[in-house]
Amino acid sequence: MKRAFSYKDLLDNATRIAVQAKLDGLTKTQIENIIGSLYMVEDARDALLITQLFAHRQAERLGRGRKTMSMISKFLNEIYVKNEDRCLASEFLGLIKWVFECIEEVRLPMIDVNTLTFDALMNILRGR
């Protein structure tokens, strides 16, 4: 069965979200909490809906990260609409966490988060 998203699609989206999370001042723990929310309900597809809600709740509770959480929610909804489930969402959120860990202590140059790609970020990381 063909997956709805290539790993390149996942990496590009995870890169944009991880960089936005850094700009929003989020922490690795907050990303881990979103991953954990995927397992709050038994149904693997409904989990994507619950995690979207949890992401927005986190942003409101923290008073920051609204753009990051909106980006996460939007992509989780795309995964849901394409009939994927928790398995793909978990991979995706795990990639966000890995990218975030790569850049957590790195001073990034001025970049446009909306057009940033995984390849562009890797070029930045290789060049430091």
Per domain, the residue ranges of the chain are: 7-123
The CA distance from 128 to 125, in Å, is 6
Predicted confidence band of residue 128 (pLDDT cuts 50, 70, 90) = low
Average pLDDT, the chain: 95
Give the global pTM.
Answer: 0.94
Predicted confidence band of residue 1 (pLDDT cuts 50, 70, 90) = low
